[in-house]
Amino acid sequence: MVSFKLDDRSQAGLTNIWVTWTIKNNSSEKSNYTWDWEAVAPNGTRVANSTEFVADVQPGQTTTGEMFTTLKDTNVKLNITDFDRTKGF
């Protein structure tokens, strides 16, 4: 995982906060990636969570992605709670 962050798109007229990511396959095999994440408010309450999946990333290849969330505020801590790479076929 090269980056995983929140993207506030309210200036573009969108109401939700998005998560964006960049993954680079540093292995010698085509790979699939799955990860779980959560957003935690300053008071410790988990306010969002999801699972993301990226398939068939070639060796040395970098891929990016994004997903909308139900978050209305970026004042949260973003955590990756599980990350897994498996061999692609």
| Residues whose CB is less than 8 angstroms from the CB of residue 88 and which lie 6 or more positions away in sequence, other chains included | 29, 30, 31, 32, 55, 56, 57
> Residue type for 46, please?
R
Task: Give residues with Cβ within 8 angstroms of 3, minimum separation 6.
Answer: 20, 21, 22
Mean residue pLDDT across the chain: 92
Binning pLDDT at 50, 70 and 90, where does residue 14 land? low
| pTM for the structure as a whole | 0.86
